[in-house]
Amino acid sequence: MKKTRRFTAGALALMMAATLSACSSSSTTAGQTTAPGETTTAGQTTAAGETTTAAETTAAAKTTAAGETTTAAETTTAAVTTTAAGTTAAAGTTTAAGSATAGDGTEKVFRFAYSTVPTTLDPSKGNSTGDNELQRAVGEGLVRTINGQVTEGCAESWDVSDDLLTYTFHLRDGLKWSDGQDLTAQDFLYGFRRLVNPETASPYAWILSTAGILNADDCMSGSKAPEELGVSAPDDSTFVVTLSNPTPYLLSILGTCTETDPVRQDYVEKYGTDFAATADKNVYCGPFVLTYAGEDQYVFEKNPNYWNPDAVHFDKVTASVVTDNNTQVAMYESGDLDFVNLPLEQVNQNKDTPGENGFENGNVGFIYMNSSSEKQPLMKDVNFRMALNYALDRDQFIALATDNVYRPATSLVLPDCAGAKTTYDEEEGSKLHKYSETADLDKAKDCLQKAMDAAGIKDPSDIKLTYTCPDSENDKTQAEVIQQMWTENLGIQVEIEQHTFAELFSDIYPKHDYEIGYGNWSPDYNDPYTYLELFRGSNPNNYSDYHNDEFDAKLKSTVTETDPVKRMDTLAECENILLDDAAVIPTYIAVQHYLLNEKVTGINFSIGGVNFDWAFGDISE
């Protein structure tokens, strides 16, 4: 008989316990690329056979059986609140608080705004941080990430085989959908299989491949039927996940990526392509139900059938669609919203405003370099790429482009990303070949001269480089700062070419039809692999078209390495290959600032897939 270990969420067995979170928008492999202008603690060590409960864990940095770790710094729980609020009286008038008053008591209503409309209401087709945040309020996965910790969701416990390849989840008794129908393991089975079915055309199906689930790639390609995916439901209360290789961040993916939530087959078959097209064409199992979804507003109300009703305090939540962040701030100031993300240009002027706070959302900025560019062959030369890196003064860039709101990035992986026991930077930072925060003009000019000599170029002014970026004002400002530095420090010509965010990531970057350009990444799970995988040769999201056999081999070895310390060391070696090869130009570490009504508590801000988690918030009296 195969040996297994039983875990509840407190043990966080074998998985990366924390969620990583970002600004927001279209997603790609193992993370999310955030659209311009959008906003983007762990368990105890357990031995085989031991069981712990959620109450036994603490928010300090601890290591689980497989070496997963998070730190308290990764998550900010908002006990912070602001002054202006908004209480709606029984007659519908708005007063200065954040709750609505009914004739027989107080109805707690929380109000915020979306900068962009969520891309879908279909849980299998989510493709952005905003989609995840919406679905995490109306859905419930096998596990749920709260305050950076993986906690029990529909599953009250799970077993893990000694070879780390089989996870057996035990669903709690009495689970119900919002219409009163029983929620069973069959709903998870259908949801997982629907996700990888090519007919679903889910933009996030690849997450099951990243999770290491057996046959995921073959199911997505159509070479195997969805029924051959490595999941099963032996009975209504048991769901089994079989992996092709140990995946130390499996629970983190399941707790954050709402694409793995259960789906009702009868609703999909009833509505067909219209499934989840409107709020009433879906059924819900999370803390809230979506009662209205229009062009200008989304309305959520408490789900009476949620398994943990005592954890849900808001009676109603309204999310207005307000595309202009400055308008959102004005609505907050007038008492019409309880929470807003601050645009960069308003952060410093609001630093003394009650309820102002900030958190690192996991989003790192960098510059893609197309190493196969035919338009500018110099991009293939490591010396030219290194010259661009050395010529960038990151301290000045942060000051001029972000008003010192962001932090300079001197390497690719987020420093606060989880390591084997503490953070990645604490364990591996001293080994990384990081770039300087200030420009090194001697090295920049030396590298440029070597590249020019190899290409037979006599004058740097003969070099023309096109920098491609989104069409927002913030991105234009960043591009202009970079343009000025490269022009002044290297003497080359730099042009700026702007496109819509959709054009960049659906056409230009996938086709490698650019020379150099804007990039950023917001991870789905708390592991350095999510950043490094962007440069794996066979990754469809390898927009740099970077190929290095040594890098690919080392990265692949980390998938099967079970020693967490050795694995983290190898991931650092992978990052050094990228840095030594100047495969990327790191620029910034994003810090998202916001204003939150002082009466509102319990809002959680995390690194990664769900930056803004309001499902268990409350409003004080």
Q: What single letter denotes the amino acid at residue 409?
A: A
Q: How many helices (H) and strands (E) does the chain have?
A: 17, 29
Stretch 352-358: mean pLDDT, rounded? 94
Q: Which position has the higher pLDDT, 474 or 392?
A: 392
Residue 606 has pLDDT above 90, yes or no: no
Average pLDDT over every residue of 157-186: 97
Of 37-41, 128-132, 266-270, 441-445, the poorest mean pLDDT is in 37-41
> What pLDDT does 32 receive?
52
Parallel/antiparallel/unpaired status of strands 109-114 and 143-146: unpaired
Q: What is the mean predicted confidence (pLDDT) over 329-348? A: 94
Check residue 90 and give its pLDDT. 27
CATH classification for the domain delimited by 363-591, as one of 3.50.50.60, 3.40.720.10, 3.30.420.40, 3.10.105.10 = 3.10.105.10
Q: State which of 97-111, 300-314, 601-615 shows the largest mean pLDDT.
A: 300-314
Whole-structure pTM value:
0.77
How sure is the predictor about 33, in pLDDT bands with cuts at 50, 70 and 90? Answer: low
pLDDT tens digits, one per residue of 522-558: 888 889 999 999 999 988 789 999 999 999 999 999 9
Question: pLDDT at residue 142 above 90?
Answer: yes
Average pLDDT along the chain? 84
pLDDT: which is higher, 346 or 35: 346
Identify whether the C-beta of residue 586 lies closer than 8 Å to the C-beta of residue 566: no
Top pLDDT among 346 and 82 is at 346
Question: So what's the pLDDT on residue 26?
Answer: 34
* Per-residue model confidence (pLDDT) at position 105: 53
Considering only residues 446 and 71, tell me which one the structure prediction assigns the higher pLDDT.
Answer: 446
| Residue carrying the six token digits 């240009």 | 345
Q: What does the pLDDT look like over 478-513, one tens digit per residue? A: 999 999 999 999 999 999 999 988 789 888 999 999
3-state secondary structure of 307: coil
- Residue with structure tokens 């070419």? 497
Mean predicted confidence (pLDDT) in 204-212:
91
Q: Is the pLDDT of residue 243 over 50?
A: yes
Higher per-residue confidence, 98 vs 290: 290
Q: What one-character-per-residue DSSP string does 500-554 give?
A: -HHHIIIIITTTT--SEEEEEEEESSSSTHHHHGGG-TT-TT-TT----HHHHHH
pLDDT: is 541 or 9 the higher one? 541
Q: Running DSSP on this structure, what letter comes out for residue 128?
A: S
Which residue is listed with tokens 């864990």? 57
Contact call for residues 321 and 297 (beta carbons, < 8 A): yes
* Cα–Cα distance measured from residue 29 to residue 540, given in angstroms and rounded to the nearest whole number: 8
Query: Pairing between strand 464-470 and 516-523?
Result: parallel
Assess contact for 417 and 428: CB atoms under 8 A: no
355, 598 in Cβ contact below 8 A?
A: yes
CATH of 4-285+593-619, one of 1.10.10.10, 3.30.1360.120, 3.90.76.10, 3.40.50.2300: 3.90.76.10
φ/ψ (deg, to 5) at 24? -175, 145
3-class SS at 56?
Answer: helix
Helical packing angle, 382-390 and 441-455, nearest 10°: 150
What are the residues facing 7 on neighbouring strands? Answer: 158
pLDDT tens digits for range 148-167: 789 999 999 999 999 999 99
Q: Which of the pair, 603 or 43, is modelled with greater confidence?
A: 603
Per DSSP bridges, beta strands 612-613 and 603-606 are antiparallel
Query: Could you tell me the pLDDT band of residue 472, with boundaries at 50, 70 and 90?
Result: confident
Q: Which distant-in-sequence residues (6+ apart) come within 8 Å of 511 by Cβ?
A: none
Could you check whether 4-285+593-619 and 363-591 share the same CATH topology?
Answer: no
What span, in angstroms and rounded, lies between the C-alpha atoms of 305 and 311?
13
**For residues 16 and 526, is the Cβ–Cβ distance under 8 A?**
yes
Residues 6+ apart with CB under 8 A from 100: 87, 88, 89, 106, 107, 108, 109, 315, 316
Q: What is the pLDDT of residue 377?
A: 94
Asked if 519 and 586 touch (Cβ cutoff 8 Å), the reply is: no
User: C-alpha angle with apex 138: 19 to 99, nearest 5 degrees?
Assistant: 100
Look at residues 511, 524, 611, 508 and name the one whose alpha carbon lies nearest to residue 209: 524
In angstroms, rounded to a whole number, what is the distance separating the alpha carbons of residues 179 and 160? 33
Q: Rounded to an integer, what distance in angstroms lies between the CA atom of residue 37 and that of residue 180?
A: 40
**Region class of 276: left (phi > 0), else alpha (psi between -120 and 50), else beta:** left
Domain boundaries, the chain: 4-285+593-619, 363-591
